Amino acid sequence: MNELLKQNISKNATFSETELEEFCKHFKLKYFKKKEYLLKQGDVCRFEGFVLNGCFRIFTFDQKGNDNTLYFAAEDWWLMDNDSFMHQSPSHLNIQALEDSEVLMINRTDKLMLYEKLPVVEKLFRVMSQKALVAWQRRLIRNHCETAKERYQNFVSTYPDISSKITDKQMASYLGITHEFLSKIKKR
Amino acid sequence: MNELLKQNISKNATFSETELEEFCKHFKLKYFKKKEYLLKQGDVCRFEGFVLNGCFRIFTFDQKGNDNTLYFAAEDWWLMDNDSFMHQSPSHLNIQALEDSEVLMINRTDKLMLYEKLPVVEKLFRVMSQKALVAWQRRLIRNHCETAKERYQNFVSTYPDISSKITDKQMASYLGITHEFLSKIKKR
DNA sequence: AAAAAAAGTTGAACTAGTTCAACTCTCCGG
DNA sequence: CCGGAGAGTTGAACTAGTTCAACTTTTTTT
């Protein structure tokens, strides 16, 4: 039973020892090489992942072919396409390893079974989703009221570990600006 | 027991008749006059609301004093500040009636009790939150890859009912542009 | 270690969106 | 029904961010 996963869960719900064990035993350790895809746009998402180490980028190609980064997932983050997982529809997202990484993965069947078997699992993901929702709302507001330079500086100071692992191009795609402009921001 | 609430719940979870009744009986009908606040920035959110009719605007004042609209909630939408409700911390959000409105409201104590008593309530809000999460992710992407004009047109065609109830100033604040620029967009 | 590919830099010209100020229109409160 | 406040419009000057193209640097592949 993995200690990091255990701690992560405990932040959001109170599991008994047996519940924790029952929950964790469905996760299997998988390795991803740098640049390898955990999910590709068009595929159906049949799993959920929890990052033990390494880093992933979650992004999508829009109609115009630009790549938009939704977020980065390093150690202690969860990975999945909620939409595709829920409806078993083709995913709009790509999830790609930015470096060699280790992920604990649970498949969809097991997760659905756990929702049924352990009510506390419903609570766990309810709380996780509500917290994530708040974070997305805040990010949208910040995109409206802060300049690109402010957003860049905030990101670097909030996530120094992630900032050091990603290229400027990926950073720009996360901030919603061109990489040329990011280069000009950094110069000053 | 309100029919609209019942239908809304049934979209996201399967309640038995008794569960539905137990759940719904904690909601009380409240009336809000045009311009009245259901929640003010700085207050603690101790309730959750479900709009029966009318319309609300959920917005926040940023550091620079600009008002940013997160979303509008008309008939069949839920209303609350997840962050403030969860942590009982002062809210960053304002929720104001744009017209005379009716809302079914449940207080925090009852809602927390229902989470304990009826496991299906956990599921309901877990599913609702996950769907909302997907919607916020999509909105952020669209803000990056669409122009203000495109976002305006998409909003009007997706939510014609809401569009007709709000002022251009409120629309601009939702789109993340100035109302002067919205006026220029509409002119063309 | 060489070649190829990708990432980053820089400048010039451009455009989407802002700011400010002046004006008009609408609608609601006394 | 009048007065005032807020909503909407318009123009001119501005700025944040884009686009394109040429170039350098770094990383990856062989």
Q: What is the DSSP string of A55-115?
A: EEEEEEE-TTS-EEEEEEEETT-EE--HHHHHHT-B-S-EEEESSSEEEEEEEHHHHHHHH
What per-residue confidence (pLDDT) applies to A29? Answer: 97
B47-53 and B78-79: which strand pairing?
antiparallel
B146 CB and strand D closer than 7 A: no
What per-residue confidence (pLDDT) applies to A18? Answer: 95
Q: How many Å lie between the alpha carbon of B29 and the closest alpha carbon of chain A?
A: 25
* pLDDT reading at B188 higher than 80: no
Q: Is B52 inside a domain boundary?
A: yes
Q: Any CB–CB contact under 8 A between A134 and chain B?
A: yes
Please count the structural domains in chain A: 1
* Residue with more model confidence, B62 or B143: B143
Beta strands in chain B (DSSP E): 28-32, 37-39, 47-53, 55-61, 67-74, 78-79, 94-97, 101-107
| Chain-chain contact of A68 with B123 (C-beta, under 8 angstroms) | no
Q: Is A168 inside a domain boundary?
A: no
Distance A166 CA to D27 C1' (A): 14
Percentage, residues of chain A above pLDDT 90: 95
Q: Is B109 inside a domain boundary?
A: yes
Token reading at B48? 């959750």
Residue B45 with chain A: CB contacts under 8 Å:
none
Q: How many Å lie between the alpha carbon of B52 and the closest alpha carbon of chain A?
A: 23
For residues A145 and B122, what is the distance between their CA atoms, to the nearest angstrom?
Answer: 34
A177 CB and strand D closer than 7 A: yes
Q: How many Å lie between the alpha carbon of B92 and the closest alpha carbon of chain A?
A: 10
Q: Which residues pair with A71 in a beta bridge?
A: A58
Q: Is A28 inside a domain boundary?
A: yes
A55-61 and A94-97: which strand pairing?
antiparallel
| Chain-chain contact of B62 with A137 (C-beta, under 8 angstroms) | no
* pLDDT reading at A188 higher than 90: no
Cα–Cα distances in Å, from B177 out to A146, B40, B41, B140, B181? 13, 23, 22, 14, 7
Look up residue B88 and give its DSSP letter. Answer: T
Of A127, A122, A131, A129, the closest CA to residue A23 belongs to A122
In tens, the pLDDT along A49-62 reads: 999 999 999 999 98
Task: Name the band, by pLDDT with cuts 50, 70 and 90, for residue A65.
Answer: confident
* pLDDT reading at A174 higher than 80: yes
Token reading at A165? 């692992």
In tens, the pLDDT along B85-119 reads: 999 999 999 999 999 999 999 999 999 999 999 99
Number of Cβ pairs closer than 8 Å across A and B?
88
Q: Is B178 inside a domain boundary?
A: no
* Residue with more model confidence, A65 or A54: A54
Closest residue of A to B145, CA-based?
Answer: A62
Q: Any CB–CB contact under 8 A between B134 and chain A?
A: yes
Q: How many Å lie between the alpha carbon of A170 and the closest alpha carbon of chain B?
A: 14
Percentage, residues of chain B above pLDDT 90: 95
Find the CB nearest A137 among B119, B136, B176: B136
- The answer to whether the beta carbons of residues A84 and A91 sit under 8 Å apart is yes
In tens, the pLDDT along A75-121 reads: 999 999 999 999 999 999 999 999 999 999 999 999 999 999 999 99
Instruction: Say which CATH number the domain at B28 has.
Output: 2.60.120.10
* pLDDT reading at B154 higher than 90: yes
Q: Is B182 inside a domain boundary?
A: no
Distance B2 CA to D18 C1' (A): 52
Q: Any CB–CB contact under 8 A between B70 and chain A?
A: yes
- The answer to whether the beta carbons of residues A134 and B85 sit under 8 Å apart is no
Average pLDDT over residues A145-152: 96
Mean pLDDT across chain B: 95
The total of other beta-carbon atoms located within 10 Å of residue B27's CB is 21
Mean pLDDT across chain A: 96
Structural domain for A19, as ranges: 3-116
Q: Is A127 inside a domain boundary?
A: no
What per-residue confidence (pLDDT) applies to B1? Answer: 73
Q: Any CB–CB contact under 8 A between A141 and chain B?
A: yes
Backbone angles phi, psi at B22, to 5 degrees: -55, -40
Q: Is A155 inside a domain boundary?
A: no
What per-residue confidence (pLDDT) applies to A95? Answer: 97
Q: Any CB–CB contact under 8 A between A36 and chain B?
A: no
Closest residue of B to A142, CA-based?
Answer: B62
